[in-house]
Amino acid sequence: QGCTQKYIVKNYFYYYLFKFSAALGEEIFYITFLPFTYWNIDHSVSRRMIIVWSIVMYIGQVSKDILKWPRPLSPPVVKLEMRTNAEYGMPSTHAMAATAISFSFFVATTNQYKYPFELGLVAAFVFSTLVCLSRLYTGMHTVLDVIGGALISAVLLMLLYPAWDTIDHLLLTSPFCPLFSIVVPLVLCYNYPKLDYYSPTRGDTTTILGAAAGATVGFWLNNQYAAPAYTSKSFQPGFPLVTSAMVLVLARFFIGILVVLLTRWVMKNVVLGALGYRYKFPIRDLEARRRLEVEVPYKFVTYSSVGFTATVIVPLLHELLGLM
């Protein structure tokens, strides 16, 4: 299973298209697109996407480790990725995330912004389809894994949609929101299904729930203290993008991402250092970092700090620098 097959790329267009599309379902996309939406487009849209994304991904990750369906055999399949090879296949969480994010963004914006309904629908469909096809191209999933993931995500989105406004209102106004947002994800992470061997699914799930927990606490705090909301008027679809507006958007994004990445680096080292001191292991000991008592607090604290920084610290910095 650890053997890597050699292969020759004959069509570089498809190779780079689907390698890029696969990245749209990974951390690099989440840590850039979701904060970008919050900083430059609309707070309510970002909140709804994060709610849907965290619920869908948790259900998808847990389903993998309950069903335990293997990934495609290699050979005959040639696998272009190895990190997630230790995970089970059904359902494809890439397909679930792509469907959830693209269609929740479409549904959340269609009533707030003036743009052709058909255009938004096609864009969401193309985005999710590219990610789904990338999982087949890279040899990481079967057709059934991908279809199952997309369908599960679509059903969850339909079930959550009627409760969007209610959930959003409670997360912003309930005095129990911060406690609920931290305790529930932590309990879910510590009680994640146990496997016979190590798989990155628990760590990835902890990362997602931690980021969502930190962001949710940030949403609540901003609402309680009436933090100024970003206006999306300069970024309305169909509106001519003025050079100054684009500079503002890019400045918010690059400054924000720099702060977010710095937060992740600092917190990762601080938390791992503290846990290493507590449990007597060197920071670079990969096996020790995979233990439940280390992996869950390390990833949860690190990424909840990232979510909180993206929703509270970065907006304050933007305001201080006159980028609002």
Q: Which residues are catalytic?
A: 94, 141
Of the chain, the end-to-end C-alpha distance in Å amounts to 51
Give me the helices (H) in the chain, please.
12-23, 27-40, 43-67, 93-110, 117-137, 143-160, 164-173, 177-190, 201-224, 243-279, 286-289, 292-308, 314-320
Hey, what amino acid is at 59? I
224 Cβ contact partners less than 8 Å away, ≥ 6 residues apart: none
Give per-residue burial for 103-116: e unless 16+ CB within 10 Å, then b: bbbbbbbeeebeee
Within 10 Å of residue 140's Cβ, how many Cβ atoms? 26
